[in-house]
Structure 1
Amino acid sequence: MTTYNTAKPKFVEVKGTVLAYLDFGSTAKSNVPLVFLQHFRGTFDHWDPELINPIAAVRRVILVDNSGVGKSNGSVPATYEGWAQNIIDVIQALGIPQIDLLGFSMGGFVAQMVTLNAPSLVRRLILAGTGPSAGEGVEAGDPSALQRLAEAATETESYNAFLSAFYSLSEKKQQLGAKWWHRMNGARVDRSPYLGPEGTKIQIGAVVRWANREFSNEGSYDRLHEIKIPVLVANGDHDILIPSVNSYVLFKKLVNADAHLHFFPDTGHGFLNEYADQFSKLINIFLDA
């Protein structure tokens, strides 16, 4: 069976833009694919194989590069509504009637908007290391950590920025982060680089709008009650990029969803890599329930 390591990019044109995706895995348990949406500056070549492959072993998975990112052409959208519409368009162009959806970090912002704007499309939703748009109780992350991620240009700068933002600074946790970095970077050939400076600037602009109540009509905070499907909210208990309390706020705002909340101990934004084995099992259990 094709794995994350061996899956070949595929392409679909939507509204004049060619978007790249990976589509692989098993249909042993379900014909509903799980679609993954990636973090700030990341592409579909920046997932952890130890997270993806145990899920692909039992279900079909689709990893998408949004427009202007990775192997997709076009422009990076200026809002997460725009990001979400691209995902909706891709799924419809592929003729898939329904999906499960996982959004990590910034991808979680997009996943919320996909679910809100195309509610019949999403069967179950997983929101990892993310939070709602601006609203009461939502806290800002460490701006210096985001700045380091945004400005990293070399391999060493990226390594240092991601390990300091995703993992605690203890020697043990940094060693775990180094293992993740090497297995991620060694998983696939012909990998895309992290998003470049111009696209990163647009992504930061989208983050600013998401975090500003002046643009609440573009966000999720005031609409989360509209979600009426099973939702799994997960994070580390000490996330400095999107503070862990935001996951709790998100969970509490999902008043009409069958919502579940899971915090992984002594970890931060990179919990899904540090606890890849446990989290992949939790995802499969949640989707099969």
Structure 2
Amino acid sequence: MKTAILATLLAFAATPTLAWAGAVDAPTRFVEAEGRRLAYRAVGTGRPLILALRFRGTLDSWDPAFIDALAKDFRVITFEYSGIGRSTGARAGTMEAMVDDVRDLADGLKIDRFVLGGWSMGGAVVQEAATRMPDRVSHLVVIAAGPPGQAFWVPEKAFLDAASKPVNDLADEEVLFFRPSSEVSRAAAKASWDRIHARTGDLSPPVIPAAFADQAKAVADFRADTHGVSQFLFTTRMPILVVAGDRDVCCRVEDWFALSGRLATTRLLVMPQAGHGPQHQYPEEVAAQIAVFAKP
């Protein structure tokens, strides 16, 4: 009997940690809304945190380590825009349509009030959504995205070249979301890539190139600031956290510096030796900062 118990304990101790098993195994579910199905996944049991995707992203674009670290404090809900991945309906090619996706997802899940976050293009989407739904968003998290209006820094050619490829490999993602010049960042890119690709089933199809132009138009609409997002940022009482890499080749953190003194409630967190995916390079640390920021 003692031998059997000892063997069991040794086997348990030898089992690798499942720090991100929740996100890897989370099933894809669907919400019926306005004649379409929105694909989503949920991990955790805390307050709802809805996360909006980057340009050409799917449910499988999030680093499981980041999602599971957030899930210690939130019910983390990731989703795909209309017509993207496994979501049906007409492709969401405008900011208004993407905001509708956020609202309809929350309605379908019967979530009245939530923390809202978005990465890259998703960071633009959630700024628009918070402007339109200020009574429903308790805290806003903007990851690797700039403010509305004309950017002082434009995306670098290397980023645009990689972003326009039909399929990206690890080398592309080092350029897109990390800092290739940094050994620390390259190692983080490989670790994140491995975690993301640990999920082998229930995957979403990649975003087709025809959708790239639609999403680019939506980002241009945000840049034009046709919906009063800047005024919202200058006057809101909603707590806002911007998470940025110190060397983002797409959305430079310097664009936020230019608004210093005018932003009513915005906090800025800059991660070192990081690019356009700081939450994938520092998943646990960024998640912990978000949990402190959004503490009720």
Bin for the TM-score computed over the shorter chain? 0.7 to 0.9
Please say if residues 162 and 175 of structure 2, whose CA atoms lie closer than 8 Å, have aligned partners that are also in contact.
no
Once residues 229 and 189 of structure 2 are traced to their aligned partners in structure 1, the CA distance between those partners, rounded to angstroms, is 31
Q: Flag structure 2 segments of 5+ consecutive residues without an equivalent.
A: 1-17
- Aligned-residue sequence identity (percent) comes to 28
Once residues 172 and 273 of structure 2 are traced to their aligned partners in structure 1, the CA distance between those partners, rounded to angstroms, is 19
The corresponding residue for 2:38 is 19
Once residues 154 and 69 of structure 2 are traced to their aligned partners in structure 1, the CA distance between those partners, rounded to angstroms, is 33
Once residues 218 and 144 of structure 1 are traced to their aligned partners in structure 2, the CA distance between those partners, rounded to angstroms, is 31
Once residues 196 and 252 of structure 1 are traced to their aligned partners in structure 2, the CA distance between those partners, rounded to angstroms, is 41
Instruction: Give the TM-score, by structure 1 length.
Output: 0.88
Q: 1:171 Cα deviation (Å)?
A: 6.0
The corresponding residue for 2:252 is 243
How many residues were matched structurally? Answer: 276
Match of 1:95 among 110, 133, 137: 110
Q: Where do residues 174-253 of structure 1 align in structure 2 (5 Å cutoff)?
A: 174-187=186-199, 189-211=201-223, 213=224, 216-218=225-227, 220-249=229-258, 252-253=261-262
Match of 2:155 among 141, 150, 169: 141
Instruction: Give the TM-score, by structure 2 length.
Output: 0.86
Does the C-alpha gap of structure 1 residues 13 and 253 become closer, same or farther in structure 2, counting only changes over 3 Å? farther
> Which segment drifts farther, 223-232 or 70-79?
223-232
Once residues 227 and 131 of structure 1 are traced to their aligned partners in structure 2, the CA distance between those partners, rounded to angstroms, is 17
SS at match of 1:234: strand
Once residues 60 and 140 of structure 1 are traced to their aligned partners in structure 2, the CA distance between those partners, rounded to angstroms, is 35
Match of 2:68 among 53, 58, 72: 53
SS at match of 2:59: coil
Please say if residues 147 and 255 of structure 2, whose CA atoms lie closer than 8 Å, have aligned partners that are also in contact.
yes
Q: Where do residues 249-260 of structure 1 align in structure 2 (5 Å cutoff)?
A: 249=258, 252-255=261-264, 257=265, 259-260=266-267
SS at match of 2:138: strand
Match of 1:150 among 148, 164, 168: 164
The corresponding residue for 1:110 is 125
- One-letter amino acid of the structure 2 residue matched with residue 264 of structure 1: M
Please say if residues 98 and 122 of structure 1, whose CA atoms lie closer than 8 Å, have aligned partners that are also in contact.
yes
Once residues 230 and 191 of structure 1 are traced to their aligned partners in structure 2, the CA distance between those partners, rounded to angstroms, is 34
The corresponding residue for 2:177 is 166
> Which segment drifts farther, 105-114 or 138-147?
138-147
The CA deviation string for residues 111-165 of structure 1, in whole angstroms up to 9 with x for no partner, is: 0011000111100111111112224x64322144123212233xxx433322112
| Structural RMSD (CA) | 2.1
Please say if residues 99 and 122 of structure 1, whose CA atoms lie closer than 8 Å, have aligned partners that are also in contact.
yes
Once residues 218 and 97 of structure 1 are traced to their aligned partners in structure 2, the CA distance between those partners, rounded to angstroms, is 23
- One-letter amino acid of the structure 1 residue matched with residue 34 of structure 2: K
Does the C-alpha gap of structure 1 residues 208 and 273 become closer, same or farther in structure 2, counting only changes over 3 Å? same
- One-letter amino acid of the structure 2 residue matched with residue 190 of structure 1: D
- One-letter amino acid of the structure 1 residue matched with residue 32 of structure 2: E
Once residues 194 and 149 of structure 1 are traced to their aligned partners in structure 2, the CA distance between those partners, rounded to angstroms, is 13
Q: 1:283 Cα deviation (Å)?
A: 1.2
Q: 1:101 Cα deviation (Å)?
A: 0.7
Please say if residues 225 and 254 of structure 1, whose CA atoms lie closer than 8 Å, have aligned partners that are also in contact.
yes
Matched, 1:278 2:285: yes
The corresponding residue for 2:8 is none
Q: 1:189 Cα deviation (Å)?
A: 2.1
Once residues 210 and 219 of structure 1 are traced to their aligned partners in structure 2, the CA distance between those partners, rounded to angstroms, is 10
Please say if residues 34 and 62 of structure 1, whose CA atoms lie closer than 8 Å, have aligned partners that are also in contact.
yes
Once residues 188 and 221 of structure 1 are traced to their aligned partners in structure 2, the CA distance between those partners, rounded to angstroms, is 41
Please say if residues 25 and 56 of structure 1, whose CA atoms lie closer than 8 Å, have aligned partners that are also in contact.
yes
Structure number, greater radius of gyration: 2
* Structure 1 outlier segments of 4+, above 4 Å: 249-253
Q: 1:226 Cα deviation (Å)?
A: 4.2
The corresponding residue for 2:10 is none
Q: 1:78 Cα deviation (Å)?
A: 2.2
- One-letter amino acid of the structure 2 residue matched with residue 278 of structure 1: E
